[in-house]
Structure 1
Amino acid sequence: MSLANPLWGAPRIHGELKMIGIDIAQSTVAKYMVKRRRPPSQSWKTFICNHTDGIAACDFLVVPTIGFKLLFAFIVMAHGRRKLLHVGVTAHPTAEWTAQQLREAFPWDQTPESLIRDNDAIYGAVFKNRLKSMSIRDGPTAPRSPWQNGYVERLIGSIRRECLDHIIIRDESHLRRVLRAYAEYYNSARTHLGLEKNSPVPRKPQAHGRLVSRPHLGGLHYEYARIG
């Protein structure tokens, strides 16, 4: 109990033991508790799990075009249901442009409590002021710690493996259309292990009716459902 519950003290553990029929003195519990060098604190992973419904995350995805031009896609997702909230595309990202993407991603009545981001220089004063004006807590990750923004990093990996690795991007407008089509597939059709094999926008299991398939991204992926 001491290992699994680092926030518990001897009285709490003693009470739990009493509830399951183990009658020992509280002083004995204190004697055998795990000794820690510093007061217990939440790990980053624990913090994410405890606050997931109020957290969003963002990051940039760099995409080359057929003419070897680099485009930048700004990705915003919600942790709670892994929903892809917003995709912005530009050839010349600036702090002002990135701050405007926040306004488009989060209407006033749908802002998250916190936004996790990396320490890229583009997230400067303009971006931070926009977060403050929208009452969103700024959550920069530690330097060289991409795992602290693991949800959006995994999403970017899925976008590459399931979409961009199979499509040659012509220009900015083409990339925007492709990413918006992938966002529709990702949110409404693609199943996730972390969501008990459901999609960000929940799908209801169907056992009866005629089986039909709906193509996404020009047939790169399919969604299956029953009708009738």
Structure 2
Amino acid sequence: MLVLRLARENPSWGNRRIHGELAALGIKIAASTVWEILKAHGIDPSPERTATTWATFLRNQAGALLACDFFEVRTLTGARLYILAVIEHATRRIRILGVTAHPTGQWVTQLGRNLAMDLQDAGATARFLIRDRDAKFTATLDTI
């Protein structure tokens, strides 16, 4: 039965999602009937039957994820420098993009362009960048 197959092949789908997918396929069935079928076969009709943890999500999506942030260092003279680093989750490779005493949005955007070109040349499949809400991470960087 298609309802059971959809439930087994898509464990994160609840009865409402299954009902919606069936409707998209042109199969007319009441949402309550989907619920009854799942219940009759001992399948919990809610998406909580297999909760995905954050660690599992990151492991499954590692090839598409990058994360970046600044960290601060002090030189021997006491000067404060800011380093922009990126980690590729799939390989756990850390890239130091740049170092400056005065980071700006324009500087970060240029480093983002450079990173995008490097990743493209390396054939990386990263599509998403995890970052905080620092004002230096501009909308232009998000577009890149």
TM-score, normalised on structure 2?
A: 0.60
C-alpha distance in structure 2 between counterparts of 1:118 and 1:9, whole Å: 32
Q: 2:130 aligns with which of 116, 126, 146?
A: 116
Contact 1:76–1:105, Cα closer than 8 Å, also in 2: no
Structure 1 residues 9, 98: CA separation in 2 closer, same or farther (over 3 Å shift)? Answer: closer
Structure 1 residues 99, 42: CA separation in 2 closer, same or farther (over 3 Å shift)? Answer: farther
Deviations 1:2-55 (A, max 9, x none): xxx952669xxxxxxxxxxxxxx971513xx4867x897754433322211011
* Residue in 1 that maps onto 2:42: 29
Moved over 6 A (4+): 38-41
- Which structure would you say has the larger RCO, counting Cα contacts within 8 Å and 6 or more residues apart? 2
- Displacement of 1:130: 3.0
Percent identity of equivalent pairs:
31
User: What value does the CA root-mean-square deviation take over the aligned residues?
Assistant: 3.4
Residue 134 (structure 2) pairs with residue 129 (structure 1): no
Q: 2:59 aligns with which of 45, 49, 52?
A: 49
Corresponding residue SS for 2:106: helix
* Residue in 2 that maps onto 1:217: none
- Displacement of 1:77: 1.8
Corresponding residue SS for 1:76: strand
**Number of residue pairs matched by the alignment:** 110
C-alpha distance in structure 1 between counterparts of 2:51 and 2:134, whole Å: 27
**Which has more helix, going by share of residues?**
2
Contact 1:55–1:113, Cα closer than 8 Å, also in 2: yes
* Residue in 2 that maps onto 1:197: none
Unaligned runs of 5+ in 2: 1-9, 16-37
Deviations 1:99-139 (A, max 9, x none): 1111122217256210011122222xxx322331x3xxxxx
Q: Which amino acid aligns with 1:99?
A: T
TM-score, normalised on structure 1?
A: 0.40
